């Protein structure tokens, strides 16, 4: 596919796979790194008497048996597999249809047939 055709294509149609990967990476970074550190840090600011025993962060995406990670693994895995098949076959997204030719202003309204 030429660069001109790729530039004219729909952004979401062309880039949804990398955007899904970035979204999953951000969710994992926040759920397993940022929120646990923040949760532990906030516990130091508590002034309650029950502050002796620290609570542990429970990752939100692991509740429900980790179904979120299974679903994202399936979506990203299948899309990567299908994109690899497309690249091997040399098939890519079809180029967008050219815009329909618009008739000149003088052609509107179309002439009436003679009766």
Q: Give pLDDT, residue 36.
A: 94
Q: How many CB atoms lie within 10 A of CB 20?
A: 14
Inter-CA distances, 82 with 46, 86, 88, 104, Å: 50, 6, 10, 44
The model's pTM is: 0.61
Q: Give pLDDT, residue 84.
A: 77
Q: Give pLDDT, residue 2.
A: 52
| Per-residue pLDDT reduced to its tens digit, 3-52 | 555 555 677 777 888 889 999 999 999 999 999 999 988 888 776 656 56
Distance between CA atoms of residues 65 and 72, nearest Å: 13
Q: Give pLDDT, residue 25.
A: 96
What is the arithmetic mean of pLDDT over 100-107?
A: 59
| Per-residue pLDDT reduced to its tens digit, 44-91 | 877 665 656 678 899 999 998 999 999 999 998 888 888 777 777 776
Q: Give pLDDT, residue 48.
A: 65
Spans of all domains in the chain: 14-91
Distance between CA atoms of residues 87 and 89, nearest Å: 5
């Amino acid at each position: 596919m030429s660069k001109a055709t790729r530039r004219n294509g729909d952004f979401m149609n062309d880039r949804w796979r990398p955007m899904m990967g970035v979204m999953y990476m951000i969710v994992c970074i926040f759920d397993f790194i940022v929120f646990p550190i923040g949760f532990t840090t906030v516990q130091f600011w508590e002034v309650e008497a029950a502050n002796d025993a620290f609570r542990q962060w429970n990752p939100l995406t692991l509740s429900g048996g980790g179904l979120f990670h299974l679903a994202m693994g399936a979506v990203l895995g299948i899309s990567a597999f299908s994109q690899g098949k497309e690249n091997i076959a040399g098939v890519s997204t079809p180029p967008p249809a050219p815009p329909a030719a618009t008739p000149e202003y003088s052609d509107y309204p179309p002439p009436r047939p003679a009766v």
